Amino acid sequence: MPPEQGEEHKIEQANKRLPAYALRQLIRSSEFTGNTSGYAQGKVQGNIVILPQDWASDFLQFCQLNPKPCPLIGMSSTPGDFTLNDFGEDIDIRTDVPGYQLFEHGQLIKEFTDIKMLWREDLVTFVLGCSFSFEESLIADGIDIRNISENKNVPMYRTNITCKTAGRFRGNTVVSMRPMLAKDAIRAIQICSRFPSVHGAPIHFGEPNLIGIDDINIPDYGDSVTIKTNEVPVFWACGVTPQLALRQSKPPFCITHSPGKMLVTDINNASLAVL
Amino acid sequence: MPPEQGEEHKIEQANKRLPAYALRQLIRSSEFTGNTSGYAQGKVQGNIVILPQDWASDFLQFCQLNPKPCPLIGMSSTPGDFTLNDFGEDIDIRTDVPGYQLFEHGQLIKEFTDIKMLWREDLVTFVLGCSFSFEESLIADGIDIRNISENKNVPMYRTNITCKTAGRFRGNTVVSMRPMLAKDAIRAIQICSRFPSVHGAPIHFGEPNLIGIDDINIPDYGDSVTIKTNEVPVFWACGVTPQLALRQSKPPFCITHSPGKMLVTDINNASLAVL
């Protein structure tokens, strides 16, 4: 590789070894604006949804009714509060996520690396669990996670599984798919059942048509991955579900993290295990 | 139904409601010599293997190396002891099982309802967990167990999955099969994972060929059951595995329960849950 690429790779490897706090400081100063997969290993990363107070209670109810696609692990204590002290030292949600998306009436308006200029006194922040946490546990048990071993985004699909409606929020479940042998799928169901706050156990395996997926090789989001002989596709409820509901429900103002650019917290993945 | 059948049915229903102790008294007096499925609900039923002391340590090791097909839940405290006080009030293993099979050198010699005449001072009794316990938990969660709803013996199959060898004991795993929808299979994996002492989680689902089963409609033991559209076959390690190992290993003397005629204990199924 050319010397400058080698240098970039070295910096990336060094950043991956940074503690969560140090990584957040790089993110705060916009020195780091990339995807957070593989960074601060062992720590919980969160999907972020920020809504005005008059939309927040509907969204809170949507999460509580649909805990598998929308596993709420926390929210700001009062409207307008941009700290999230339960999630890590000195977190400022306006600056500590590598990338933000602003939506107005369900339309993506612009991406930001800092939302200080957009902040309002009525904004409520929601933190939702993310699949990075359970992927780490599966890899630790020797299960090949294809999107990681093939260095791709996990394939995601819209399904015919309807979420429970909460006020103005409605939509279908989006799933992520990881192919594996049946014996590994059984083990994955056991392991992920311990982690309900990061999507929990899979919701389907096998025949994709049964949940409304026409072609497993054409995901609606992310990349297609190899399904090897004798492997079955295993489907988890996915954090894109609330994003789809937000696009359909069209709140006048909403901010989310940019896909793959998560809030890196100080919470240990291991602490999420319920048993 | 004719009056005498009606009378039999009434007696059967009454016997099914008997507490475990009272049922064992009927078994002891040979008034009850039938299958125990559906009797003394909520109580653990056990597979029984009785071996001479010089074969017992190999068998004990076989169980410990192969806990999914051979989940040992207890054994007699000393050779020759025919009581099993940890398993229930006043149990005498020589009389309290509805049917016994005597094997010599791996060959079935004869069936008995009482083995007092066969008892020896060197005999060691093993009690192994049985699928009745987890079926009860699955039914309690609303999952249809086809062998029960179709009133059949569960279909069982020899597989190409080798057990770990222990001394003179070797053999392949036998599995039982219950067809269900993927969503129920996921739930069954969760529920059965709580019960490692009654075979635990399934060991395979889906394609039967992958574990050496040529035709799912032709079980090696038990009855074929209906597999409905969209259902997948789910396979559990089965208590027939040690029986197959005993036939292959040919101890000169061995007694087991007759298939389906189990030791009914006073232990609650719920007490087997590890979490």
pLDDT of residue B50: 98
For residue A161, what is the enclosing H or E element? strand A156-162
β-pairing verdict for B72-75 and B123-128: antiparallel
A153 DSSP 8-state letter: P
CA distance A88 to A69: 24
The amino acid at B210? L
Instruction: Give the distance from residue A196's alpha carbon to the nearest chain B alpha carbon, in angstroms.
Output: 12
Percent residues over pLDDT 90 in chain B: 92
Q: Name the strand (E) or helix (H) holding B266.
A: strand B263-268
Task: Annotate B74-131 with DSSP letters as a single string.
Answer: EE-SSTT--B-TTTSTT-BTTTSSS-EEEEETTEEEEEES--GGG--TTEEEEEE--T
ipTM comes to 0.85
At residue A68, the pLDDT reads: 96
Q: Are strands A72-75 and A123-128 parallel, antiparallel or unpaired?
A: antiparallel
Angle of helix A182-193 relative to helix B182-193, nearest 10 degrees?
Answer: 60
pLDDT tens track for B172-186: 999 999 999 999 999
Residues of A in contact with B182 (CB under 8 A): 204-207, 210
> 3-state class of B59 per DSSP?
helix
CA–CA separation, B147 and B215 (whole Å) = 18
Mean pLDDT of A101-125: 97
The pLDDT value recorded for residue A12 is 87
What is the C-alpha radius of gyration for chain A, rounded to an integer number of angstroms?
Answer: 18
Between B38 and B104, the higher pLDDT residue? B104
> How do B172-180 and B156-162 pair as beta strands?
antiparallel
> Does A193 reach chain B within 8 Å, measured CB to CB?
yes
The pLDDT assigned to A20 comes to 97
- Cβ–Cβ under 8 Å, residues A5 and A73: no
Residue A8: what pLDDT? 85
Among A183, A193, A210, select the one facing B190 at the smallest CB separation.
Answer: A193
Start-to-end CA span in chain B (Å): 46
Cβ contact A205–B193 (<8 Å): no
Which tens digit of pLDDT belongs to each residue from A31-47?
Answer: 999 999 989 999 999 99
Other CB atoms within 10 A of residue A246 CB: 21
Closest listed residue to residue B157, CA positions, set B97, B203, B122, B111: B203
Residue A3 has pLDDT above 60, yes or no: no
pLDDT (tens digit, 9 = 90+) per residue, A145-163? 999 999 998 999 999 999 9
Alpha helices in chain B (DSSP H): 3-16, 20-28, 53-65, 132-140, 146-149, 182-193, 240-249
Partners of A183 on chain B (C-beta within 8 Å) are 203-204
B125-167 confidence digits (pLDDT tens): 999 999 999 999 999 999 999 999 999 989 999 999 999 999 9
The sign of the torsion formed by the CA atoms of A264, A266, A268, A272 equals negative
* Sheet arrangement for strand A232-237: A156-162, A172-180, A232-237, A204-205
Given a cut of 70, is residue B81 above it in pLDDT? yes
User: To the nearest whole angstrom, how far is the Cα of A142 from the nearest Cα of chain B?
Assistant: 17
CB count within 10 Å of CB A47 equals 25
In the three-class reduction of DSSP (H, G, I as helix; E, B as strand; rest coil), residue A27 is classed as: helix
Interface test with B, best of A189, A193, A199, A235 (most B CBs within 10 A): A189
Check: CB of residue A261 under 8 Å from CB of residue A34: yes
Query: Which residue from A14, A90, A1, A96 is spatially nearest to A48, judged by alpha carbons?
Result: A96
Q: What is the pLDDT of residues A50-98, one digit of tens each?
A: 999 999 999 999 999 999 999 999 999 999 999 999 999 999 999 999 9
Cα–Cα distance between B243 and B221 in angstroms, integer? Answer: 12
Q: In terms of DSSP H, where are the helices of chain A?
A: 3-16, 20-28, 53-65, 132-140, 146-149, 182-193, 240-249
Q: What chain B residue is nearest to A232 in terms of C-alpha separation? A: B206
Tokens representing A146 are: 């294809």
- As a whole number of angstroms, the distance between CA B6 and CA A139 comes to 59
Taking the C-alpha atoms of residue A116 and residue A92, their distance in angstroms, rounded to an integer, is: 10
pLDDT of residue B8: 84
Does the distance separating the beta carbons of A207 and B182 come in below 8 Å?
yes
Mean residue pLDDT of chain A comes to: 95
3-state SS, B144-181, equals CCHHHHCCCCCCEEEEEEECCCECCECCEEEEEEEEEC
Does A1 score more than 60 pLDDT?
A: no
3-class DSSP assignment, residue B137:
helix
Q: For residue B3, what pLDDT is reported? A: 57
Side chain identity at A132, as an amino acid letter? F
The predicted pLDDT at position A254 comes to 98
- Nearest-angstrom CA–CA distance, A36 and A260: 6
pLDDT, average across residues B52-65: 96
What is the pLDDT confidence band of residue B1, given thresholds at 50, 70 and 90? low
A232 and B CB contact within 8 Å: yes
The stretch A215-234 carries a mean pLDDT of 97
Percent of chain A with pLDDT over 90: 92
pLDDT confidence tier of residue B245, bands split at 50, 70 and 90 = very high
- Please spell the DSSP secondary structure of A53-119, one letter per residue: HHHHHHHHHHHHH-TTTS-EEEE-SSTT--B-TTTSTT-BTTTSSS-EEEEETTEEEEEES--GGG-
Whole-number Å distance between alpha carbons of B129 and B123: 20
* Closest A-chain CA to B193: A190
- How does strand A100-104 pair with strand B123-128? unpaired
Q: Say which of B182, B201, B207 has its CB closest to residue A205.
A: B182
